[in-house]
Amino acid sequence: MKEKSQLLNIPIPFYDESLKGLIIRACMLNKIKFPLMYKFANLRSQNEPINVNDINETRLEKLGEILNIKADLLSSLTFHNAFKKCDIKIKNSIVYMGMFNGQTKICPKCLDECGYHRKLWDCKIYCVCPFHRCMLVENCQKCYRSIYTHRSNILKCECGFMYSEASVKTCEHEEVIEFSMMLHNKLFDQSRFIISKLYCLDHNLEFAQAIYLVMHFVKRISQILYKRNINFSYNSDFNNLHQIILKVICVFIDLPNSLHVLLDEIYQQPFKKKYPLHTSDLHFTVIRNLLMPEFKFILDPYQQYIDKVASKFDSM
């Protein structure tokens, strides 16, 4: 393939497709190895594909020439537009901790029906397909290899196993299904009704803010209640992550009561400090990371609870 030549077979992007997935489809259609595509498009660093989860039109002009697709359309297949207006702290946290760039996960039923990689599959807390109401799959069920965002074939593993043949587990928690659908609707600006159970998240926050808030609570709760460190830089225990996400989502269903129930549970955890919640690492971390005005709806009831606990100890 010559650097500036257009391909003979041009894939048509789907509105919710990932850029990485489109590149793989283009390579499959034209029998090109995907590392070459990244090389000719100047999307490599130290011989490795760069992270294209957040990349602007200018960086994609070369790829646009190769694919004969406008750079702004290619950029829309990343999360760049969703992060344009959000706080830089929120953006960096999500891009570097909340998005897959190596390993990923897929919905076998979506692959079977549509044949492309949905962009939201690369978001780590998006763990349920709202269209098929099933858990996403992160490993080949034949050789047990992880599924990678940069792979030679969208539909099958290197061992030959078709991902569409993977068995799936039905999600039994309506709240997590609704959360996934909410993220899909927010990211793609689709007309929607406000989901009643998740009104606080859906009404108050944009896509990036909702991801950041849930991601933040998942990390803190996993450390305190489950004594596990959910490191978003890597694939975590997926079933465990799903359970913690469910617990976090339920916090936003009946504010402030649901938040206070969670804080009661945290308060009962054994701490060595005299003031277990008032001076705990959780308290300072939450306050520090949620000071933006858009998080006032969750920070206010949190602060009220902290003040109540603090006054109780002060009166002793």
- Per residue in 63-122, pLDDT (tens digit) is 999 999 999 999 999 999 999 888 888 998 898 888 888 889 999 999 999 999 999 999
Beta bridge partners of 128: 135
Q: What is the residue extent of each domain of the chain? A: 1-78, 176-314
Asked if 177 and 130 count as a contact pair (C-beta separation under 8 A), the reply is: yes
pLDDT of residue 269: 67
Tokens read off for 224 = 């305190």
Q: Which of 213, 133, 153 is nearest to 24 (CA)?
A: 153
The rounded distance, in Å, linking the Cα atoms of 162 and 112 is: 9
> Which letter does DSSP use for residue 97 in this model?
I
pLDDT of residue 115: 96
Which residue ranges in the chain fall short of pLDDT 50?
Answer: 2-3, 233-236, 274-279, 316
pLDDT of residue 277: 47
CA 100 to centroid of chain Cα atoms = 8
CA end-to-end span of the chain: 77
pLDDT of residue 51: 87
Cα distances from 171 to residues 106, 134, 198, 210, in angstroms, run 15, 5, 17, 21
pLDDT of residue 67: 94
The rounded distance, in Å, linking the Cα atoms of 107 and 230 is: 22
Asked if 213 and 290 count as a contact pair (C-beta separation under 8 A), the reply is: yes
Residue with tokens 């061992």: 159
Please report the DSSP string for 217-282 in residue order.
Answer: HHHHHHHHHS-----TTS---HHHHHHHHHHHHHHTTSTTHHHHHHHHHHHTS--SSSSTTTTSHH
The rounded distance, in Å, linking the Cα atoms of 203 and 185 is: 12
The rounded distance, in Å, linking the Cα atoms of 28 and 9 is: 10
* Helix-strand-coil split of the chain, %, nearest 5: 50, 5, 40
Omega cis (within 30) before 256: yes
pLDDT of residue 166: 97
The rounded distance, in Å, linking the Cα atoms of 237 and 239 is: 6
Q: Tell me if the pTM is above 0.75.
A: yes
Asked if 124 and 99 count as a contact pair (C-beta separation under 8 A), the reply is: yes
The rounded distance, in Å, linking the Cα atoms of 240 and 257 is: 25
User: From its phi and psi, is residue 31 left (phi > 0), alpha (psi between -120 and 50) or beta?
Assistant: left
pLDDT of residue 261: 86
pLDDT of residue 85: 81
pLDDT of residue 114: 96
Single-letter residue type at 71? A
Strands (E), 149-189: none
SS3 (DSSP) at 142? coil
